[in-house]
């Protein structure tokens, strides 16, 4: 907070809420204890911010999934916003914990958070700490990335999507054969007069990516991720950036994050404990819908037919690819691209969380800490069932 205020670019102002104690990594304490106690104060602060908006677009909550306050209180607040503002778009930007373990009960907390958010949020952008750390180490040459380094990477990726942009058609030229192009009449471009209109945040994200209520999970990618000192010696082309984005979108997780030890564990298993086939058994991960945002010189005309591929989408998906652009460059990058995808990328970490939570729950490990704050066994059972349903739907794509 102090760093933001000192920058003189943006500050928290007077509408912030603090308390002297957290939730001790206990999701139930955050949701059942702190949530009701803080509800009135939080909603009043939010009401003041909403009334001060020139144009209210909705809510984007930023929260962790591993702890008690960010996960438990965050889930409670999102449900409260859904009740108070039923017509508003409510999205969540969630930080997935390190799989090596941040807290011993993190799998419980992720399970409970994911099930609640999927029932109440319009979209869930899940960003993994392991992926942020991997980008810092492999692409930015930061040997021991701090949370500040990781937050910067995450913020830049999110900004690549949320900064102003306008719609452009999806061009399908000679670079994509008729066998792999989307069938005629679905989405070879923005049908109608939408081209040139500004992207409405956050409603257009929900409309184009999360229209189906059974698919709310979003993955965020951006490119280029290069060290500032090497930027002057790097030649950026749209072709290389789009190929890199497609690889991140379609290739399974253990290829993209081969440096992460937890993925060695995942590749040795073709199924999780509930019998679902793991993502690693597929050669191409599928998407319900994708939003590609291009910024910089040539973004209005660059060919994006490589994302217009039947193999990447289920047959029932309508208009699965949308493209937005802005001619202005992003920061000191002559050209950059962001991709927000409703895809199977989220399946592998969710399946591991489910199996590990089941292993703990079968022995009733740490359950008494949650019961002390009013969480019943039925809530855990419902959370397991909800996450299983989410996995099953995405695996069936």
Indicate the SS3 state at residue 76. Answer: helix
Answer with the residue of higher pLDDT: 189 or 363: 363
Nearest to residue 286, comparing CAs of 315, 248, 314, 319? 314
Nearest to residue 92, comparing CAs of 119, 126, 116, 140? 126
**Predicted local confidence at residue 174, as pLDDT:** 44
**Predicted local confidence at residue 2, as pLDDT:** 62
Distance in angstroms (rounded) separating the CA atoms of residues 90 and 57: 9
Structure tokens, 97: 């914990």
pLDDT digits over 57-75, tens only?
Answer: 899 999 999 989 999 999 9
315 burial via Cβ count (<10 Å: 0-12, 13-18, 19+): exposed
pLDDT digits over 157-179, tens only?
Answer: 999 999 999 999 986 444 444 33
Range scoring the smallest mean pLDDT among 273-277, 290-294, 333-337: 273-277
Distance in angstroms (rounded) separating the CA atoms of residues 74 and 80: 10
**Predicted local confidence at residue 249, as pLDDT:** 84
pLDDT digits over 76-123, tens only?
Answer: 999 999 999 999 999 999 999 998 877 899 999 999 999 999 999 999
Sequence-distant (6+) residues with CB within 8 A of 265 are none
Structure tokens, 198: 């500004």
Q: Which residues pair with 296 in a beta bridge?
A: 335
**Predicted local confidence at residue 383, as pLDDT:** 97
Q: Write down the number of H helices and E strands in the chain.
A: 14, 8
Distance in angstroms (rounded) separating the CA atoms of residues 122 and 88: 9
Q: Do 339 and 321 touch, CB atoms closer than 8 A? A: no
Structure tokens, 156: 């830049």
Q: Is pLDDT of 271 > 60?
A: no
**Predicted local confidence at residue 379, as pLDDT:** 96
- Express as a percent the part of the chain with pLDDT over 70: 82
Q: Is pLDDT of 52 > 60?
A: yes
Distance in angstroms (rounded) separating the CA atoms of residues 247 and 312: 12
Q: Is pLDDT of 209 > 50?
A: yes
Q: Is pLDDT of 189 > 60?
A: no
Indicate the SS3 state at residue 300. Answer: coil
pLDDT bucket at 193, cuts 50 / 70 / 90: very low
Output helix, strand, coil percentages for the chain, rounded to the nearest 5. Answer: 45, 15, 40
Q: For the residues 40-50, what does the mean pLDDT come to?
A: 94
The structure tokens 């998906």 sit at 317
Structure tokens, 57: 């677009």
Structure tokens, 31: 């949701």
Q: Provide the 8-state DSSP code for 182.
A: P
Q: Which residues pair with 93 in a beta bridge?
A: 62, 125
* Distance linking the first and last C-alpha atoms of the chain: 42
Say if strands 287-296 and 123-128 run parallel, antiparallel, or are unpaired: unpaired
**Predicted local confidence at residue 179, as pLDDT:** 35
């Amino acid at each position: 907070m102090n760093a933001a205020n000192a920058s003189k670019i943006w500050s928290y102002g007077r509408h912030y809420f603090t308390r002297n104690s957290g939730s001790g990594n206990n999701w139930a304490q955050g949701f059942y204890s702190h949530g009701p106690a803080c509800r009135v104060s939080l909603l009043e602060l939010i009401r003041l911010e909403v009334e001060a908006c020139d144009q209210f677009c909705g809510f984007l909550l930023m929260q962790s999934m591993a702890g008690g306050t960010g996960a438990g209180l965050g889930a409670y607040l999102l449900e409260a916003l859904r009740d108070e503002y039923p017509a508003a778009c409510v999205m969540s930007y969630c930080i997935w914990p390190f799989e090596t373990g941040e807290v011993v009960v993190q799998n419980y907390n992720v399970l409970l958070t994911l099930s609640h958010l999927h029932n109440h949020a319009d979209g869930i952008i899940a960003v993994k700490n392991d992926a942020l750390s991997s980008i810092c180490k492999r692409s930015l040459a930061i040997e021991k990335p701090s949370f500040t380094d990781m937050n910067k990477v995450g913020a830049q990726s999110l900004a690549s999507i949320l900064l102003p942009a306008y719609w452009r058609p999806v061009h399908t030229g000679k670079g994509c054969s008729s066998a792999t192009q989307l069938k005629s009449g679905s989405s070879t471009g923005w049908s109608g007069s939408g081209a040139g209109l500004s992207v409405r945040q956050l409603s257009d994200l929900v409309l184009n990516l999360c229209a189906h209520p059974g698919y709310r999970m979003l993955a965020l990618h951006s490119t280029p991720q290069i060290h500032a000192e090497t930027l002057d010696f790097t030649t950026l082309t749209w072709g290389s950036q789009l190929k890199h984005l497609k690889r991140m979108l379609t290739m399974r997780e253990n290829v993209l994050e081969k440096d992460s030890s937890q993925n060695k564990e995942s590749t040795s298993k073709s199924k999780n404990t509930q019998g679902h086939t793991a993502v690693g058994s597929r050669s191409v991960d599928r998407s319900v819908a994708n939003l590609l945002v291009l910024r910089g010189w040539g973004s209005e005309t660059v060919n994006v037919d490589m994302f217009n591929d039947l193999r990447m989408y289920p047959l029932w998906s309508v208009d699965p690819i949308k493209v937005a652009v802005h001619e202005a460059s992003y920061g000191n990058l002559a050209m950059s691209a962001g991709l927000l995808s409703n895809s199977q990328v989220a399946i592998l970490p969710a399946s591991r969380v489910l199996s590990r939570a089941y292993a703990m729950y079968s022995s009733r490990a740490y359950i008494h800490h949650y019961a002390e704050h009013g969480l019943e066994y039925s809530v855990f059972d419902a959370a397991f069932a909800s996450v299983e349903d989410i996995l099953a739907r995405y695996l069936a794509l």
